[in-house]
Amino acid sequence: MSTAGVGPTILLVHPLGYSATAAAGDISRMANILAPLGLASISAYLHSHQIGSEIIDCYAQPDADGRIVAFLRRHRPGWIGFSCTTATFLDGERLARLAKETVPAIRTVFGGVHVSALGEEILDRYPAVDYLVVGEGEETLRQLLTIPPGREEEIAGLVYRDGVGKGVRSPGRRQLLDLDRLPFPNYRGLAGFPSSYSLPIFNYPRVPNASCLSSRGCPYACSYCDRSVFQRSFRYNSADYLFRHLLFLKETYGIRHLNFYDDQFTFNRERVVAFCRLMIAERLGMTFNCAARAEHLDAELLRLMRAAGCWMISIGIETGDPTLLAAHRQNADLHMLREKIGLIKATGIRVKGLLMMGLPGESEESIRVSRDYVFSLPLDDLNLAKFTPFPGSPIYRQIKESGGALGSFSEEWEKMDCMQFQFVPKGMSRERLDELFVGFYRAHYTRPRILLGYVAMLWRSPDSWLRFCRHLPAFLRFAATNRRYRR
């Protein structure tokens, strides 16, 4: 959706990160296509300040190069902006060069976790990148689009080039936005929303569904998390704003289920209690998922969440090896995790475990210990990621400064997507890690209790089974490529 306004028009792009020809066979896209909520929020904020914007999401619509060029030729905007992860940055930089070839006068601006972490280094290495928005993007970008060139030093949270072409960082933004004063994200700007997006298979009961962010930041400081954007700040929408957001999604798009992608949905207990009471009193008829740390759950809260429509909670376990967990996570307590997961199940809410393999200090023994622990829990589902040391995380600096003492690190940004082992812990090999990774998943999915749980999804999440069957040939091809791995 183009929003004509008084200020300059900007094209906002969510890069794919790899060749569009490979998208059709990408298992991750078949399982989950997440809406670019950050770009949608920025677009809505700019529109509220009479600045026109358009969004092109290359992940949802992979063959986007032609549409980007066509838009640039037709509208000749003054700006093009990219929101990038580490894995998608190089694709975004390629598109920035394409934009400058199409409209030579266009200015490029990048935001997201990757550029927030690396800052001036990006401008020094990539001439096609003109500006970086570091941290929270809405107000910094608004000022950049409206303040005349040459006054960049007045804009907090910006990285720009000085008079000799060197990357310079302005002071960070001290006054952060009141999240309750923000407009709802520009969902209309996402082509085909909500049908062009999909939650993870078997992670929702009904369609149409969508995703939402109701907070920013995280108060914890685990070794593997990049806090470059929001640092240690933690802010959240009020219960009233949150309820109105859900009501808007239901009335406007018919959304029946929502997945909250907040790092810590239940951190403020009073907010969650108030939100759940609104959901119950108003009988909105929507269900939702969320992620939570175990220490911020209790039996009374879980019962209230269940009554309000909570369908599944994702819990960060990371690893079931206590020594490894203590080295990388705050409040490492596997006994407490087991207790809280049991409480979730007893309440009638599905529970998903979030794990990673390949942390510094990982070994075959720690993987065995972790698997035994995880398989002893009453989990309904799990997500096992391949540990990746992202720029901006404490462990990234430790690995870089260790000189190989912690393991080998192949820092190929386009492959840093948590689906490939770019870091290999000391004493292990990438081949063996892949074997253990596939073996972990195979052992999980062949357990009778888990298989029966997925059979129950025939009536608990029928759309998931339809999607699974529709993509079955691709899933089978993926399984065949990993057949050589054994437990």
Q: What is the CATH number of the domain that holds 391?
A: 3.80.30.20
pTM exceeding the 0.75 threshold for the entire prediction = yes
Residues 117 and 51 reside in one and the same domain: yes
Residues 350 and 420 reside in one and the same domain: yes
Mean per-residue pLDDT, 464-476? 86
Chain segment 241-296, per-residue pLDDT in tens: 999 999 999 999 999 999 999 988 999 999 999 999 999 999 999 999 999 999 99
CB 112 within 8 A of CB 224: no
In-domain check, residue 180: no
Q: Which of 224, 170, 263, 235 is nearest to 392 (CA)?
A: 224
Half-sphere exposure of 326 toward its Cβ, with a 13 Å CA cutoff?
6
Chain segment 172-188, per-residue pLDDT in tens: 888 889 999 999 999 99
Tokens coding 301: 């809260």
First to last CA, the chain: 49
Residue written as tokens 């030579």? Answer: 104
Please provide the average confidence, as pLDDT, over all residues in the chain.
92
pLDDT at 485 over 50: no
pLDDT at 124 over 70: yes
User: Which of the listed residues 169, 190, 211 is the one where a domain comes to its end?
Assistant: 169
Chain segment 381-397, per-residue pLDDT in tens: 999 999 999 998 999 99
Chain segment 317-375, per-residue pLDDT in tens: 999 999 999 999 877 899 999 999 999 999 999 999 999 999 999 999 999 999 999 99
C-alpha dihedral over 464, 449, 266, 39, to 10 degrees? -30
Mean per-residue pLDDT, 13-17? 95
Mean per-residue pLDDT, 50-66? 93
In-domain check, residue 182: no
Residue 316 CA to its chain's centroid (Å): 14
**What whole-number distance in Å separates Cα of residue 309 and Cα of residue 242?**
14
Number of independent structural domains in the chain: 2
**What whole-number distance in Å separates Cα of residue 182 and Cα of residue 253?**
20
CB 179 within 8 A of CB 239: no
Chain segment 38-47, per-residue pLDDT in tens: 999 999 999 9
**What whole-number distance in Å separates Cα of residue 249 and Cα of residue 210?**
9
For the chain, what percentages of helix, strand and coil (3-state, to nearest 5) are there?
Answer: 45, 15, 40
Strands (E), 44-94: 53-57, 79-83
| Structural domain containing residue 408 | 199-481
